[in-house]
Amino acid sequence: MKTMIGQPLDRVDGRDKVTGKARYAAEFRIDGLAHAAWVTSPVAAGRIEQLDLSTARAAPGVIAAIGSGDAPVLPYREREEPAPVDPEWGTPLRVFQDDKVRFAGQPVAVVVAETPQQARHAASLVKLRITPDQAHTVFDRAEPRPSHGKDDDDNPGVESRGDAEGALGTSPVTVECFSAIAREQQHPIEPHATIARWQDGKLTLWDKTQWVSNVRTEIAHVFGLEEEDIRVVSPFVGGAFGSALRTWPHVAVAALAAKVADRPVRLELERRSMFTATGFRPRSQQTVRLGAESDGRLMAISHDVVTQTSRYEDYTESLTEPARTTYACANVWTRERVVSLNTNTPCPMRAPGIVTGVHAMETAMDELAEKLGMDPVDLRRINHAERNEDDDLPWSSKELLACYDTGAERFGWSSRSPEPGSMRDGDQRIGYGMATSIYHAKRSSASVGAVLLANGTAVVRTATSDMGPGTYTSMTQVAADVLGLPPEAITFELGDTRYPQAPVHGGSITMASVGSAVRAACQGLAEKLMKAAREASSGAFAGLDADQVELREGYMTRSDGEARQRLADVLRDMGQDQIACEASAEPGEESENYASSAFGAIFAEVRVDPAVGRVRVARLVGAYDVGRVINPKIARSQCIGGMVGGLGMALFEQVEWDERLGRVMNANLAEYLVPVCADVGELDVTFVPSDDTIFNPLGAKGLAEVAICGVAPAIANAVYHAIGQRVRELPITPDRMLAMRS
């Protein structure tokens, strides 16, 4: 039988998804379900003077209404260990626990009614009067400071090696590049939603989340419950991109509303609220300075960044990591600072920090190549980092040079004429650009339970999530190989706190972390089964040695081929209904002795119409080193998704912010633009041969985030190549293109 790992298996949950059988958080049918609608603050800072719920309470269908100053006091126990997905400093919003308004969009009241329409109508009747305070709303006017989460450091927010400033002073060639990237918003098609039901003091939450166990822990702290008294269920997640990593205030609102109404309650966010109820990718401003020898070798890298955060939490992300890890360079200085605004707190969004930092680094490298008169790919090759110089560790695997080769070859890079503006097709300017992609590969401990049932099929369970990357499918493939069963004989279950613990489903860690545990649990199950058959007093395998029995093609088989038996029959002969095994897997010494990362090389062709400033991306080629590819079909799907995300970052996505009022002006999907099919040209994805069994036994490095990194700078560099001028702010919109001409 061929191994399933490496096969382009169709998504095992595909049919359920397209037929509607798959249930998302808001879709569970719960007896007696009531519906919640919330009221949010229209102002960015202030004190609630009056919150009058009486009219809302008298409206048709209303069961309960509560709000700030008129809600039960909740314990909000401090977490001893903050969740790794929470900001490094600050206090999360405590719903309805005080009269302070911290940002426009902050929930201040909730109404529960028999129908969603009645709830929404009643919410519109809530009378709210706020005395405004001075709001901090202007990024450029706010004072950058180190995050309070880094207050213990000697030089907070700064990391360095060598003497970057000195080396910049003596470098024969230098560039200094500024870039700004708009605040962006994750927009999964499935809105955030929670159903909360209390029964005998125990709480069940059906929630859209990338981490069921973190929802349980957080809500246990909010309500002062024991974790065992909470169950969180989340079998399907319709996209998240980081927006469902934290446990946001609306989950507590749903649970509180259900408690007060004494009914199961559903709270589903409207699209408008998705801009303020969860997080977002923070706006950033970055300056990269590079110094190089005249042959292109980097002598100095300086990377200084400022991102936005809220007034109540300091969210930071590692924008400067790429500056320290992507290229070989002895003298590196990086600094990360934040500005606090009256906004909701940002959060990780697909390749958090890294994709932003890669953009600054890779556009600076493009400018350096131009100044040196060097080919951009050659400049990257000559600066190839043989080790991770930031951690001073060897890479567990690295096939980046092969990515450059393969990408350049598939793209036809050699036909690029170096001179900007020199490639044309009629009135259109053609630009070719490229960039390196890099995203660290991490692993965390995970546990998995595997059970072989009487009918010879297996159920494999763990509390991970599948927000779209195909976790159901890839884990099924891993289990199938270890158990020697066809994938149809495996049922993989996830998204329930009753299952063995799994780490957060984010940061591209799921395959390496959970996949390794699936492998361990299925290996344990297989060994247990074979051992029992060998130690049985009778039967085809009784008395055999361990190396004389194997599981293959749905059978237990004697290695000499003399006998084989279906697993269902093996179980029956042993007089067992089922046999189970739970196992964990975690990173070992390799995590201290090696640095692990996924890599890529992205190539873009743009076509610019200079008359109207329109940029179209005709082609994107991505050659990626992601370690072993478990399923090339869903891996490609991940990558084209990431490429389209990068295209959106380059050309479309921006949360438009009213600096006078501190409000999002385009809080809808008509005005927050994402690429549609007509915006996307040809997408070419290749995985270079790679297998990282140092990093984990499956050899996979993870491939969500690496797909998007490098896409925006490849496009921006292509735009520069097309017109000979650089738009320094993303997205590269027609108005910014036209402003270049004057």
- The contact set with ligand MOS (CB under 6 A) reads 210, 240-242, 245, 348-350, 352, 506-507, 704-705
Least CB distance to ligand MOS at residue 387 (A): 25
**Residues 352, 210 contacting (CB under 8 angstroms):** no
Give the integer Cα–Cα distance in Å for 523 and 530: 11
Residue 108, amino acid: V
Give the integer Cα–Cα distance in Å for 184 and 729: 13
Least CB distance to ligand MOS at residue 304 (A): 24
**Residues 720, 366 contacting (CB under 8 angstroms):** yes
Q: Which residue number, 144 or 645, has a Cβ lying nearer to ligand MOS? A: 645
Least CB distance to ligand MOS at residue 241 (A): 6
**Residues 445, 591 contacting (CB under 8 angstroms):** no
Q: How far is CA 716 from CA 181, 679, 688, 727, in A?
A: 12, 16, 25, 8
The pair of structure tokens assigned to 469 is 């990357």
The pair of structure tokens assigned to 147 is 């995050």
Name the residue with tokens 């546990």: 447
Q: Catalytic positions, please?
A: 705
Which residue is closest to ligand MOS by CB?
242
Least CB distance to ligand MOS at residue 504 (A): 8
Q: Which residue number, 130 or 509, has a Cβ lying nearer to ligand MOS? A: 509
The pair of structure tokens assigned to 260 is 């007060």
Q: Which residue number, 44 or 245, has a Cβ lying nearer to ligand MOS? A: 245
Handedness of CA 245, 250, 253, 257 (dihedral sign): negative
Rounded to a whole number, what is the largest CA-CA distance in the chain?
90
Give the integer Cα–Cα distance in Å for 15 and 25: 18
Rg over CA atoms, the chain: 27
Give the integer Cα–Cα distance in Å for 307 and 285: 7
Q: Which residue number, 56 or 467, has a Cβ lying nearer to ligand MOS? A: 467
Least CB distance to ligand MOS at residue 183 (A): 15
Give the integer Cα–Cα distance in Å for 98 and 446: 38
**Residues 397, 692 contacting (CB under 8 angstroms):** yes
Q: Which residue number, 88 or 163, has a Cβ lying nearer to ligand MOS? A: 88
Q: Which residue number, 264 or 352, has a Cβ lying nearer to ligand MOS? A: 352
Q: Which residue number, 463 or 485, has a Cβ lying nearer to ligand MOS? A: 463
Least CB distance to ligand MOS at residue 469 (A): 10
Give the integer Cα–Cα distance in Å for 116 and 103: 25
Q: Which residue number, 476 or 510, has a Cβ lying nearer to ligand MOS? A: 510
Least CB distance to ligand MOS at residue 324 (A): 20
Q: How far is CA 259 from CA 64, 74, 113, 197, 556, in A?
A: 10, 12, 14, 8, 52
Least CB distance to ligand MOS at residue 307 (A): 15
Q: How far is CA 376 from CA 240, 286, 400, 603, 607, in A?
A: 34, 21, 15, 11, 19
Q: How far is CA 281 from the centre of its chain?
A: 11
The pair of structure tokens assigned to 154 is 């000697």
Q: Which residue number, 582 or 705, has a Cβ lying nearer to ligand MOS? A: 705
Q: Which residue number, 210 or 247, has a Cβ lying nearer to ligand MOS? A: 210
Instruction: Assign 475 to helix, strand or coil.
Output: helix
Least CB distance to ligand MOS at residue 207 (A): 15
Least CB distance to ligand MOS at residue 466 (A): 12
Give the integer Cα–Cα distance in Å for 86 and 315: 8
Residue 358: closest CA among 400, 326, 390:
326
DSSP label of 139: G
Q: How far is CA 721 from CA 11, 406, 705, in A?
A: 40, 21, 26
Strand blocks (E) in 182-292:
193-199, 202-207, 230-233, 265-268, 284-292
